[in-house]
Amino acid sequence: MIGAQNEQKNLEISLFGLFCLVLLVLSVMGTSLGVIVSAFENRRHLAELETLRAEARDMQVLWGQYLVEKSTWAAYGRVHDIALTSLEMQAPSPGQITVVKVQ
Cα-based distances in Å from 48 to 40, 42, 61, 64, 101: 12, 10, 20, 24, 60
Per the structure, how many domains does the chain have? Answer: 1
What sign has the CA pseudo-torsion 41, 44, 50, 56? negative
* pTM of the predicted structure, to 2 decimals: 0.54
Mean pLDDT of 78-93: 89
pLDDT at 10: 65
For 26, 94, 96, the CA distances from 100, given in Å and listed in that order, are 87, 14, 13
Q: Which domain holds residue 30?
A: 2-90
Residue 6 lies in a domain: yes
11 within some domain: yes
pLDDT tens track for 11-63: 666 888 889 899 999 999 999 999 999 999 999 999 999 999 999 999 999 99
Task: Name the more confident of 5 and 51.
Answer: 51
